[in-house]
Structure 1
Amino acid sequence: MADLDADLAAKVQPEVPHAARIWNYWMGGKDNFQSDRAAGAAVAEVYPEIVVMARQSRRFLIRAVRHLAAEAGIRQFLDVGTGLPTMQNTHEVAQEVAPQTRVVYVDNDPMVLVHARALLVSATPEGVTTYLHADYHDPERILAEAAGTLDFREPVAVMFMGVLGYEPDLAVVRSIVGRVMAATAPGSHLVLWDGTDTSVAVAEGADRLVQSGGVPYVLRSPDDLAGCFAGLTMVEPGLVPITRWRPEDPAAESIDAYGAVARKP
């Protein structure tokens, strides 16, 4: 275990801005370095709404997972591209509703793996929480390894939460989502949100991220994102700004991030 920790630590590059750590900075977390804070601040300078987006994305996750566990009866979750653990992670929300829920987190970042091993443990004795070190470009590997924890003969909630913009080709994105959903049982759900090209300011923020040394992130239109739900039945209210998906505040403002929950017939 110590050798594994040393190997993982060697792969962490504090001087290079990293997506998961920048997001952690925007969310008010402490698991980031100066390079991440500098890149995050540069984006927020031209697009301050990014901080709102980061924090509202977690509120969307909480509402979606609670709906799936409490109303749709889902007891298995596959969270792909989980990022650094923060407050009210998927397993905590789901297992609060249904203690026996099984959750598999997936990410390809070594720093995320170190934190996940320490923090992403089941919130209940009956539940199961595990972590896979894998890249979403290899969905067959993810499915094969997740099958050690999840029973794909039963419904699973598959989650892609603000991560698919790291793949520039929309056809590849749709293929990844489609291949994962094809392996799930009827009654499974897809939860997906992503940043959208719905304002000039958000595009300027994306440009500033690249200028600051961050990995480019492709902003897509809501119509582009809608194509990821092909063959699925949208849960009301459909694909909307994440602040408006079953919000606690009916007067919630729109932001440049759209998301939805959809059911596999």
Structure 2
Amino acid sequence: MVAADITDPQAVFTDPVAGAILDLGEPVVIVLAGVLHCVDDPIAVAGHYMRAAAPGSFLVVCDYVTENDILRARIEALMAATAPSWRVRRARDVDDILRGTAVLRPGAGDVAHWRPDRTPLRSITGMPPSLSLYGAVARISRSKYAGLYLCWPHSRSSR
């Protein structure tokens, strides 16, 4: 275990424990599960780790999401006493973290659906139906054109 601030990737990468087990020249799996709800800017944090990762690396994300604004506000208010930056996001917020990656099957969604043969987490924990753990596994794209859309003219006659 590395005792460092997840929002400070340099501190994580220079930690002696991380240095002993990580070779960032080789593909790695970056697991951001159970932590993103404590991060104010998950896109920036995930971006730092993805840029440091070698080609062939993967990103795993999982975060609490709800589209219910009232439930989001209630949970954040309840958690404010212990974790002031605790956030419940929308699914599109997690999708934004995954932008520029190749999301693998079964795709981004409620992780309880990944293993339909198992008892859903919400039935064990009493988690409300409108709150889910939304996640994905993705291959990190190393192309400089990832996310870049090029538009070509329909005709070359304008040259």
Gaps of 5+ in 1: 1-130
Q: What secondary structure does 1:132 align onto?
A: coil
Could you tell me which of 24, 35, 38 is aligned with 1:163? 35
Alignment correspondent of 1:188: 57
Aligned length: 129
* Alignment check: 8 A CA contact 1:143 1:180 kept: no
Shift of 1:204: 1.9
Could you tell me which of 134, 137, 141 is aligned with 1:261? 137
* Alignment check: 8 A CA contact 1:197 1:203 kept: no
* Alignment check: 8 A CA contact 2:75 2:88 kept: no
Question: 1:1-265 alignment to 2 at 5 Å?
Answer: 131-145=1-15, 146-168=18-40, 172-199=41-68, 200-210=70-80, 213-216=81-84, 217-244=86-113, 246-249=114-117, 255-265=131-141
**Normalised TM-score (structure 1):** 0.44
Distance 2:104 2:19 in 1: 26
* Alignment check: 8 A CA contact 2:109 2:134 kept: yes
Distance 1:251 1:167 in 2: 29
Alignment correspondent of 2:144: none
Query: Deviation string for 1:64-117 (max 9, x for gaps)?
Result: xxxxxxxxxxxxxxxxxxxxxxxxxxxxxxxxxxxxxxxxxxxxxxxxxxxxxx
Shift of 1:230: 2.2
Q: What secondary structure does 2:44 align onto?
A: helix
Query: Deviation string for 1:43-83 (max 9, x for gaps)?
Result: xxxxxxxxxxxxxxxxxxxxxxxxxxxxxxxxxxxxxxxxx
More helix by share: 1
Distance 1:198 1:256 in 2: 10
Distance 2:78 2:45 in 1: 28
Gaps of 5+ in 2: 123-128, 142-159
Larger radius of gyration: 2
Alignment correspondent of 1:74: none
Q: What secondary structure does 2:60 align onto?
A: strand
How many percent identity over aligned positions? 29
Distance 1:250 1:142 in 2: 34
Distance 1:178 1:198 in 2: 24
Q: What amino acid does structure 1 have at the position aligned with 2:117?
A: D
**Normalised TM-score (structure 2):** 0.71
Q: What is the RMSD of the two structures over their aligned residues, measured on CA atoms?
A: 2.2
